Chain A
Amino acid sequence: MFDFLPPQAASLSPEIDFLFFGLLIISALVLGLLFTLLLLYCIKYRRGSGASRTGQEEKSWRIEIGWTAATLIAFVALFFWGADLYARLYEAPPDTLDIFVVGKQWIWKVQHPDGQAEIDALHVPVDRDIRLIMASQDVIHSFYVPAFRLKRDVVPGRYESLWFHPIRTGSFQLECSEFCGTDHARMTGEIVVMSQADYANWLATQAHGDSFAGAGEKLFRSLGCGGCHGPGSTVHAPDLAGLYGKTVALADGGFAHADDDFLRDAILLPQKRAPAGYAPVMPSFAGQLDESQILALIVYIKSLDEKPRKTP
């Protein structure tokens, strides 16, 4: 439609542009009205002009309430228009393809669920709901894809997620948009959206060892997690199978939702939200794992709930 727009490459980009142009038209109308009045008054009522000055508006309450109410109504309408779209933008639909992104000065490291890894590039299939689970190894970065009209800060110490549904194939710019140090301006990359078949091909041709969950399982073993959390362990530790997504009672009497951030805290800061009913013997693994290793562990723990449970 307009040359200056970046391509509309995600399902919600046209709607965001539509909202933008809606705002643009409203602003143009307001500015047009204002500038017309300013110009008109400045010419008509310039000093020495013959225009009549009699009957100056004195009582202003009605006028004031009038334009205040008009402004307020317009703003509330704009708010709801934006809020409705934002809710859809923010909440990922179910059954997304989850891909893991780690930002660090000054590269983007991407891990696919089947173990493929890439740097400063992200290959995704077209027409699928894709969710990125993002972590930072050091400072705050921001994952920004102008063609998707999307950005999300990648904040150290927690997971941020971002979802999108690519609607056209091609290569799109990825930029870090939160200042992160010397080479911030060079922390860019590309998003490659491929047809489903090409994507399957691409996945197959990439060198990869274990799946991401598999890498997590190896770590799980080498770190000795199974010693307490495994079946048949003599230490009384929470069973991890099926834990993800459940509500957990905490030792301090509260409750927590066992999501990515909860598992991350459980590994790095085990006393922060210790579960009720267990002795606080879990050691902290802070400093021993990098962000992708922590992600791999979490992905492995998540995968545990898919396994069939043994009936007692």
Chain B
Amino acid sequence: MTSARRAPCKNYLTENFTLRSWFFTTDHKRIALLYFASITMFFFIGGGAAAAMRYILLHPDGAPVSAEIYNRLFTTHGIVMVWFFLVPAIPTTFGNFLLPMMIGARDVAFPKLNLLSWYLFILGGSFVLYALFVGGLDTGWTFYAPYSTMYSSGHLIAAVTGIFIAGFSSILTGLNFIITLHRLRAPGMGWYSLPIFCWSLYSTSVILIVATPVLAMTLLLLATEHLIHVGIFDPALGGDPLLFQHLFWFYSHPAVYIMILPGMGVVSEIIPCFSRKELFGYKFLCWASVSIAVIGFLVWGHHMFVAGISMYAGLMFSFLSFAVAVPSAIKVFNWTATLHKGSISFEAPMLYALGFIGLFTIGGLTGLFLATLPVDVHVTQTYFIVAHFHYIMVGGMVTAFFGALHFWWPKITGRMYPEIWARFAAVLMFCGFNLTFFPQFILGYEGMPRRYHVYAEQYQVLNVFSSGGAGVLAVAYLLPLFYLGWSLIWSRRASANPWQATGIEWQAPSPPPKDNFTHPPKVPAKPYAYVTPGADHD
């Protein structure tokens, strides 16, 4: 390896090669990679469960598995994807890696706490994996009581314990980010010089800290009723099933924004870079993130329109749900306006960012259908809702994740990824995604309920389309494993700033040394100071 000898100085990867130096590291970049390996594993476990479900749904009679196996598959898919991929995905990997670098810091505020959150995440994940390994559970990721507490027969306690513990990991990460952003910004770096990615992570962290304890309490109450039959949610014991739903969605709706806000942050970095243009409406994007985080706490009732809340409660939650869509719309308009009179190139990260705008907008617009009460009454609990939240979660968040992965891959690994393969995977992912989930909107309006493994024959054609799309999607998700793996060894080395981006993280070498910067970073007067070729800049 002659090229290795030419590497200028030790970087965070070559600093030390012992296992101990990885598992006891307090370097935010190494912790980010630990998280990266963990959530990749969870992504493929959750994805495997989804693939099995799509295979089963090829036939309306539910062969070749029993109802119980199907029920355990969708529960596995939901729990693993929500808590062990979507919620931690961007904050713990790109957030951990980039947040300190974007503000010119050497690490997060509490490096040891950061390592502790990874261990908590792994401990929680182990409980969940144990629950799945010994047979799983069939409550759905929503754990609706009294089914979960009194009637289901899976490994509820192990799974709930795992999620409970992983929640502390979320809280510690959120705490770390907030304090890092308050205390460790480089001299001269004000709040309005922060990249939108930092604003998004700040908003996300606030939600993590405020909402996650409610989830922890809810799960504790769930376990209490399940183990010692204290009546909390089961009316037969004197409890109230709607109480569970209120508590659960008070966390789980804001959790949607935990998942999507960091994705919006990523897109706000990529679009200006590949348009060579300043981000349009910077301050509006900052405050749109914050308003989404705040209003996001007031809309949980829209999950319960048909659950037995009063008409007036329904009307109020409907109105607030429309309100939360306003800042999201503002974001989409601003990204689009950024493209105007830019100088746009279409490397893989940009393809993902453009895909994000399209898919997220479809997800958001179908959210309006669900906020409209009479339409919600018809399509909630059907495949329409499945399609809607996958457009936000997968079309939005996962697309942004892959965008971030390609955008910062040179910084993280010091290698360029193969552009042709990456573009191919991006396009394939977009097509596979739409083929999988668009038919589900129609299935939903036709009235096919979710969580059905046997269904009326009239729904089969669309289900076959959807399963076919899932096959394409699976290939698209596996491709990066190969070409990115290949790039680690054989691809050409990346310069410090291959995209000529303006973020401070690009002033560090690729990959960065242990303390991130070799020189004190220069803080630009304003973020996104891109110069469009041919524009009349003052």
Contact = CB atoms under 8 A, between A and B. Distances in A.
Interface string B364-397: 0110110111110110111000000000000000
Given A38-B357, A45-B339, A151 B242 contact: no
Contact of A46 (B323, B344, B456, B533): B344
B144 A179 contact: yes
B535 A186 contact: no
A38 B236 CA distance: 56
Contact of A181 (B147, B281, B345, B366): B147
Nearest to A268: B235
A81 B445 contact: no
B410 interface: no
B68 A53 contact: no
B454 A175 contact: no
B330 A67 contact: yes
Contacts of A123: none
B427 interface: no
Contacts of B242: 155
Interface stretch (A27-35, A199-207, A243-251, A274-282): A27-35
B151 A181 contact: yes
B445 A20 contact: yes
A151 B306 contact: yes
Interface string B338-360: 01111111100000001001100
B388 to A, nearest CB: 12
B535 A56 contact: yes
B454 A31 contact: no
Given A53-B534, A79-B322, A139-B146, A60 B281 contact: yes
Given A34-B336, A142-B306, A186 B311 contact: no
Interface string B449-470: 1111111100000000000000
A194 B94 CA distance: 61
Contacts of B323: 75
A177 B311 contact: no
A150 B378 CA distance: 5
B372 A179 contact: no
Residue among A15, A31, A144 with the highest chain B CB neighbour number at 10 A: A144
B354 A42 contact: yes
Contacts of A139: 144, 146-147, 150-151
A229 interface: no
A38 B311 contact: no
A158 B449 contact: no
Contacts of A42: 339, 344, 346, 354
B308 A153 contact: yes
B224 interface: no
Contacts of A307: none
Nearest to A91: B311
Nearest to B339: A41
Contacts of B515: none
Given A41-B336, A75-B368, A153 B307 contact: yes
A146 B151 CA distance: 28
Contact of B381 (A89, A142, A157, A160): A142
Contacts of A78: 322, 368, 371-372
B8 interface: no
A55 B536 contact: yes
A90 interface: yes
Contacts of B284: 60, 64
A173 interface: yes
A35 to B, nearest CB: 7
A184 B534 contact: no
B306 A179 contact: no
B378 A38 contact: no
B67 A183 contact: yes
B319 interface: yes
A184 B452 contact: yes
A269 interface: yes
Interface in A23-74: 23, 27, 30-31, 34-35, 37-38, 41-42, 45-48, 51-57, 60, 63-64, 67-68, 71-72
A259 to B, nearest CB: 13
A197 interface: no
B179 interface: no
B366 A27 contact: yes
B220 interface: no
Nearest to A71: B329
Nearest to A153: B307
Interface string A154-192: 011110100000000000010111111111111000000
A184 B147 CA distance: 12
A138 interface: yes
Contacts of B371: 78-79, 82
Contacts of A38: 336, 339, 354, 357-358
A31 B62 contact: no
B536 A151 contact: no
A126 B253 CA distance: 40
Contacts of A177: 380-382, 449-450
Contact of B345 (A15, A16, A46): A46
B236 to A, nearest CB: 7
A20 B329 CA distance: 20
A6 interface: yes
Contacts of B333: 67
A186 B452 CA distance: 8
Interface in B129-165: 138, 140, 144, 146-147, 150-152
B369 to A, nearest CB: 5
Given A6-B446, A182-B67, A269-B238, A16 B374 contact: yes
B52 to A, nearest CB: 16
Nearest to A149: B378
Nearest to A65: B284
Nearest to A146: B447
9 contacts: A16-B374, A20-B445, A30-B365, A35-B358, A45-B343, A60-B284, A105-B151, A139-B150, A184-B452
Across the A-B interface, give the 8 residue pairs with the lowest CB-CB distance, nearest first: A157-B235, A146-B447, A86-B373, A82-B372, A177-B381, A41-B339, A185-B452, A75-B322
Given A54-B536, A56-B277, 18 more contacts: A23-B375, A34-B357, A34-B361, A35-B358, A42-B354, A47-B344, A57-B337, A79-B322, A82-B371, A86-B314, A138-B146, A139-B151, A150-B377, A157-B235, A157-B239, A177-B449, A181-B71, A185-B451
Interface of B: 62, 67-68, 71, 138, 140, 144, 146-147, 150-152, 234-236, 238-242, 275-277, 280-281, 284, 306-308, 311, 314-315, 318-319, 322-323, 325-326, 329-330, 332-334, 336-337, 339-346, 354, 357-358, 361-362, 365-366, 368-369, 371-375, 377-378, 380-382, 442, 445-447, 449-456, 532-536
Interface of A: 4-6, 12, 15-16, 19-20, 23, 27, 30-31, 34-35, 37-38, 41-42, 45-48, 51-57, 60, 63-64, 67-68, 71-72, 75-76, 78-79, 81-83, 85-87, 89-91, 105, 138-140, 142, 144, 146-147, 149-153, 155-158, 160, 173, 175-186, 269, 286
